[in-house]
Structure 1
Amino acid sequence: MWAEKLGKQLGHPTQSVGGWLVSRLLVARNWVLEENAVQLCRIQPDDTVLELGHGPGLGLKSAAKLLTAHKGHLIGVDYSAYMHKEASERMKDLVASGKVTLHHCDVAAMPLEDNTADKVFHCNCYYFWPDLRKGATEIHRVMKPGGLMVTTLRLSNVAALAAKRVMPGENWRPEAYMTALRDSGFIDVRMEDRQLKYISFQAIYATASK
């Protein structure tokens, strides 16, 4: 039962003690993955960048610093009302200026026009999507032709949680996500092992082909 409850809070944090603990956990444990997802996207100053499942806003803050040109714009989406509220508070000045736009919505139904984003990144996110193909198709729709998508994860940690039944079903497996990306029109889909001084992690890349 505890595993199911933890999995629900990780996938959809609520304004509760459990949601607050998950939020603090994300701040403490996800910052390396968030920072590297941003860096691996090769963000340019005038890009339109989208973060999926932005959580408390760590990746948003990192990405915003790179969008120094007037046209540079950052968009974030999250299914959790609690995380949307947390990130909105963290990014309130940039939201007020129009540099950042945050949406409380499902990744599979984003209120964005076709061909909006130059770069997309996310971290510890796709495992909780009920339909990987639907999510990947929606990401492909909102990306510009040739746009790059990057997601980062620590596969050993994810596999350990899946073994304890914290992760639902088999969607946590990178192969399942990469297949959904290819089936949705992405090319150059690949996963790389990355090594920093203190941490090893994986990065999945995909390019939108249109």
Structure 2
Amino acid sequence: MSSRITKLLANTFKLATSDIANQYALPVKSMTGWAVSRYGAKKSRKLNEKIVELMDPGKDDFLFEIGFGRGDAMKMCFDRVKDGRGMVFGVDRSGYMNERATKRFLLEIAETDKIRIDSAVDLRNLPYPTDLFNHVFHVDLFYFLQQKSMVDINRELLRVLKPGGHLTCAMDFKRLKTLTEHGLLEETQWDPMRYLWALEAAEFSDVKINYHNDPQIGEYQVISARKSEMPISDQDPEELFRKLADDMKKERLAVAMMNDRKEAEV
């Protein structure tokens, strides 16, 4: 095989891998988007089941999923609240996923008004009032968030959570390592410490990661955090100012470290 053909095949493979990676992060309406989103939904289904089981929402709870994909977890949550006063909300950056989910839940939306699908191009500005949700959750999402935006996004999630409300994120390290080996993710993207730090910087309480085992999927990981039940108005202003100053220092340090890493790679 000539070097020209070898180079052509290598470039073709690189382009195909890049397209799949982009579709994994943000599916668009295409054959590749359809296939990648279907594959992702299949691989994430058990994680979705586990995250809903761990949240154990009541029939009157308000739930919010970020990056709902084909809507499997939204359906599981709907089954929990359909006989109560609760509702299920979801946003996804992908217009294609919004379209598919809207079609999937057409009857539920029309007949019960217990599922709401919204667009949110910028997760730092959600279209919801403060203190609305009992649970905010996501699977396969934070890997695609830029480091410089993560703290602000989590502050917005904290805002829409009710006092005492919970944020839950499920992961499968084994599957993520496979995606990394195939060139679809970078290991730094799904480093859990990256997200744990952003949650703490956003003033979430009880931030932690727990390891669980399931006979079908093996080990999986769950990041969880909680919104304090103490209203911000009751907190000491000087303490709040000190924490804000600390957060700004940490954020500047993180940005500097990321920039140094990029320069070193170049």
TM-score range, shorter chain: over 0.9
1:39, CA displacement in angstroms? 1.2
Pick from 81, 86, 95: which aligns with 2:95?
A: 81
Percent of aligned pairs sharing the same letter: 27
Aligned position for 1:156: 174
Q: Which residue of 2 aligns with 1:22?
A: 36
Structure 1 counterpart SS, 2:167 = strand
Q: What secondary structure does 2:169 align onto?
A: strand
Q: Which segment drifts farther, 182-191 or 162-171?
A: 162-171
Q: Cα offset for 1:91?
A: 1.2
| Alpha-carbon distance, 1:160 to partner | 3.5
> When the two structures are superposed, what TM-score results if normalisation uses the length of structure 1?
0.93
Higher strand share: 1
How many Å apart are 1:27 and its aligned residue?
2.7
CA distance in 2: counterparts of 1:125 and 1:39, whole angstroms:
19
- Alpha-carbon distance change, 25 to 164 in structure 1, aligned in 2, over 3 angstroms: closer
Amino acid corresponding to residue 225 of structure 2 in structure 1: A
Matched, 1:11 2:30: no
- Equivalent position of 1:204 in the other structure: 223
Q: Deviations over 1:52-91 (max 9, x none)?
A: 1000100000000111444211101100000011111111
The correspondence for 1:108, drawn from 120, 124, 128, is 124
Q: What residue ranges of structure 1 are gaps of 5+ in the alignment?
A: none
For residue 239 of structure 2, what is the aligned residue in structure 1? Answer: none
2:145 paired residue number: 129
CA contact (8 A) 2:62 2:87 kept: yes
- C-alpha distance in 2, partners of 1:112/1:168? 32
> What stretches of structure 2 of length at least 5 have no aligned partner?
1-13, 232-266
Contact 1:162 / 1:172 at 8 angstroms: preserved in 2?
no
CA shift, 1:208, in A, is: 1.3
Report the number of matched residues. 210
**Which residue of structure 2 lines up, in the alignment, with residue 53 of structure 1?**
67
Tell me the TM-score normalised to structure 2 length. Answer: 0.74
SS at structure 2 position matched to 1:171: coil
Match of 1:93 in 2: 107
Distance in 2 (CA, whole Å) between partners of 1:65 and 1:99 is 10
- Greater gyration radius: 2
Which residue identity does 1:116 align to in structure 2? L
When structure 1 is superposed on structure 2, of 167-176 and 9-18 the one drifting more is 167-176
Note if contact 2:207-2:225 (Cα within 8 Å) is conserved in structure 1: yes
Instruction: Kindly provide the amino acid, as one letter, of the partner of residue 21 in structure 1.
Output: A
Secondary structure of 1:65's counterpart equals helix
Separation in 2 of the partners of 1:173 and 1:156?
A: 13
In the alignment, is the contact (CA less than 8 A) between 1:171 and 1:177 conserved in 2?
no
Greater helix proportion? 2
2 CA distance for matches of 1:204 and 1:109? 23
Show the counterpart of 1:193. 211
Amino acid at match of 1:47: D
Task: Render the CA deviation track for 1:126-172: whole Å, top value 9, x for unaligned.
Answer: 10112222221211111111101111110122133235542257331
Give, in angstroms, the shift of residue 109 of structure 1: 2.4
Residues 41, 120 of structure 1: 8 Å contact kept:
no
